[in-house]
Structure 1
């Protein structure tokens, strides 16, 4: 920034990006299509992974609000021939008045009113920064306090958007985000090192551009805050909010504190700015979002980037959240395809891609799915989870349905055997003693099993695209799971010189139980085979498995 004029997120350059050539630059949003043929922008260059994913959400939401494809045909046209920088500038200019970060006008994602309160440290805009209680107890051992005292306006903008979009619970009156605290974000990545435009456009839902009359219901900071609390009102679709507010939820009442720079730089990026953010003020009981996750896909009110679940049929729909251990193929049913019981649904961006868009684009490689978000333990961030996995899309619709069934069955069998492995090891090591299945040794055992079989799972799905012999593929998968389970058991339960005869007998009995089951025999084995739709194996075939 060259002066201290108010900063606008659509008119000013602020997004740090890299081009295919390796060149780094800072752009305004409309420039994502700049030089797209010869040297396209391919990624963000924020120093934090959460900022990178939030930047995708920001741009997807911006396009969904200002200039979404109205039809599938329109989406294909802009995939093949992207709009120009000038066209995007023109579309964004219509809503630029909602994107001032500072100044005297309404401020982006900040409370409509000036707040009278003590100032928070700037670093507490970061979801993983130590909170007040942690600092008082001197418990900030891994993420230390005082690392970020000032931010450039660009850094503060993405930090603010990240916090408002994913806001975790934060004590009395600190409301969670529209999708609940710390939701999982899933994005379709069409091409490795593909243009930023195609990544963003692949995930923009069809819809209608914002109308001027709806601005205050789309951008909540343009009007007095809909406060919650004893006398407050929930933010609901059609009543006091527009469906497009799913991209611009503002659960926290925040006002950034700006100070003129005195030869200092942003503590996160090293960037110079004439104005820095040194803190922020807040008030409790901001907007409380109700019922947004439960709306049907067609209504446009489910957040298009987040999968959801219900604990039982007919229960409230909730956003899926990252969990310890990360995201892997065991989550396939729920983040890529609908679960067998219909209680887990993938994000609509994934559904739209796989059911419509994937068949009208030509890619040189299989697209991938990015899954990311904070693993939250109430108010504490245990870690930022980010993983990628391949998406396999058959051109034939019926074959795709069969592959999805195959994938669900394979994950189901792996879950059964993972649980059986954990149970057998617990039985071997601890006998009848009461030991939680979540004890570290058993939890790590289960995680290793998933890790050991992940590449094989994707290899099976890759084969399924070119062959329709699902019985052979399921049989092959069952053998893989059997070998992995027995291998992990043998690595964990070992006979030592000091092992007693009683312990050895218990080890042997536990392994025999596991061996019988992964051979497809016994009550447990037959249940696994039935889940895969395979006949119970004969003794001769059993020998090949174990």
Structure 2
């Protein structure tokens, strides 16, 4: 896609307000023709022309900036005009507020959204910073760090590719950094949710407007901040630094106004602004701007946040006795239905919490009768300490029916069965090929392949269950035939195929061939419900265990192919 070219309003002699400037790039869809065009809007223009040509998505052409823009707008709506109850939420879902009304609602927050100027600056240190300037590319989480550049290891993301940014781009880069900040070295704090947190959102069915997507995920808070805006926007007061060896954490500070979770400021940063030179454009967007950001200054020991909750992110803990919860982060293997249960129905587990917006979103979708075609969006940076390995983004179905608890329990059974089948299939392959049990990489890769190759079928089975429960929420015994079908038509053929692809019998020597044939036999028996492994698989699926019929195990050292006999 070609890079757009546009010009921001010339405000070289005025402050750059993120509420008053049309700085957000979006896509609009003409409902009569289906034609999509680009536009730039102010936050209050989110509902402009919503009945004929609604805004449908952000359009930075960077998924991390698009995700950050969604969080920015959800945070702004939650701060300025959160729904007071379900009735209030439903009223604004059906009849969105006009741009004029939104502008008036946002106006009391104006002083917190000024990017430059002599007063408080958006997401920047309260006071000026006396430090050496560094290139603005350092605000991009995927940019190489200074040591990487010094060691000439920036092989994929090159240094020097971002000489200057327009103010709009600098603003969203700054917000992305503060809300996603990874470890930045001694004293450079991670974000409120740690480095590269996973964000999950409920998505309405079809091609809904961006307003409806955002409003679906806006949490409820008390509506007024009054004179205590600094409790929401920490840059309106002197920075709470954390130089001590045991830095202060801030749960009490945030508990005074939970909306600060959207506006956390772990990094101490001051942007450097300068007049643009003739013909200069933003390195990322191609935007012409009268003022550019070429560098910034930073100091360590910004706000140190405790693990407080965030309505857009799931959490976990290692064991029930752990007092604190940790935020979930994307992993290199991506997001599959193995993660779906915890992202959607985490409340059913004492070790998992799904994001509050997902649980609330499901209830709201049921309220507006969008129960079957809604989606779950999960995204975030996959981080290796300070290094971004990539940005992960996935969409999956989100079922919002009255009998959600029964459906969730059934889905958890299928995932548990797939986990077990994948793990044991990998073990049988390892036994067949004599792979060292200490080498977990090939086993993990095979398990992930099983999930990837059975994902569509999994959601098809869950959708069939949702259809039955939607027609009759009290339907008895709906799960058994569907679970049986999942085993017979999905898990069994997938596991067998993966084994056969991994263990090519024709290429094996006599000794290895005998071991491989035996491993495949025990895989087959497990998938038929026989032996200890078969019983465990059928139990996970909620199926009756079949009568055993298998050869006796050999005496001596036990491996995966023999454990099934126990």
Compute the TM-score of the two structures, normalised by the length of structure 2. Answer: 0.90
Residue ranges of structure 2 left out of the alignment (5+ in a row): 1-8, 31-35, 469-474, 550-566
Q: Of 428, 434, 439, which residue of structure 1 is paired with 2:432?
A: 428
- Which residue pairs with 1:295 in the alignment? none
Between the aligned partners of 1:363 and 1:536, the Cα distance in structure 2 is 38
- State yes or no: 1:512 paired with 2:521: yes
**C-alpha distance in 2 between matches for 1:393 and 1:364:** 4
Q: What does residue range 90-101 of structure 1 map to in structure 2 within 5 Å?
A: 90-101=104-115
Deviation of residue 340 (structure 1)? 4.9
Distance (whole Å) between structure 2 residues aligned to residue 138 and residue 238 of structure 1: 42
Of 312, 325, 331, the match for 2:339: 331
**1:437 maps onto 2:440 in alignment:** yes
1:247 counterpart (255, 262, 269)? 262
> What's the secondary structure of 1:482's corresponding residue?
helix
Unaligned runs of 5+ in 1: 293-301, 541-546
CA distance in 2 between counterparts of 1:148 and 1:406 reads 49
SS at match of 1:23: strand
Cα deviation, 1:420-445, whole Å, max 9, x if unaligned, reads 111111111125x354112xx43332
Could you tell me how far apart the structure 2 residues matched to 1:88 and 1:276 are?
A: 29
SS across alignment from 1:211: coil
Deviates more, 1:226-235 or 1:366-375: 226-235
SS in 1 for 2:404: helix
- Structure 1 pair 240/110, CA: closer, same or farther in 2 (3 Å)? farther
Quick check: 1:358 aligned with 2:328? no
Question: Which aligned pairs between 1:154-193 and structure 2 lie closer than 5 A?
Answer: 154-193=168-207
- C-alpha distance in structure 2 between counterparts of 1:116 and 1:428, whole Å: 64
CA distance in 2, matches of 1:340, 1:234: 29
- Quote the Cα distance in structure 2 between the aligned partners of 1:343 and 1:11: 44
* 2:77 match: 63
Cα–Cα, structure 1 residues 173 and 163, in superposed 2: closer, same or farther, change >3 Å?
Answer: same
Report the counterpart of residue 315 of structure 2 in structure 1.
308
* Counterparts in 2 of 1:365 and 1:534: CA distance versus 1, 3 Å: closer
Structure 1 counterpart of 2:413, from 386, 409, 415 = 409
Question: How far apart are residue 363 of structure 1 and its match?
Answer: 3.5
Q: State the number of aligned residues.
A: 523
1:257 counterpart = 2:272: yes
Using the TM superposition, give the Cα deviation of residue 448 of structure 1 relative to its aligned residue in structure 2, in angstroms.
1.6
Contact 1:226 1:234 in 2 (8 A): no
Q: Deviations over 1:165-196 (max 9, x none)?
A: 01111111010111111100001110332100
Cα distance in 1 for partners of 2:355, 2:538 equals: 30
1:228 aligns with 2:242: yes
Q: What's 1:486 paired with?
A: 496
Residues of 2 paired with 1:75 and 1:240: CA distance? 24
Q: 2:290 matched to 1:286?
A: no
- 8 Å contact 2:426–2:447 — kept in the other structure? yes
Return the alpha-carbon distance in structure 2 between the equivalents of residues 341 and 47 of structure 1.
37
Q: Per-residue deviation at 1:257?
A: 0.9
Deviation at 1:494, TM superposition (A): 0.2
Residues 207-266 of structure 1, C-alpha deviations (whole Å, 9 max, x = no match): 222322220111000011000121753222347852110010000000011111012100
* Corresponding position of 1:453: 454
Cα-Cα RMSD: 1.6
The residue aligned with 1:527 is: 536
Are the aligned partners of 2:271 and 2:296 in contact in 1 as well (CA < 8 Å)? yes
Aligned to 1:237: 252
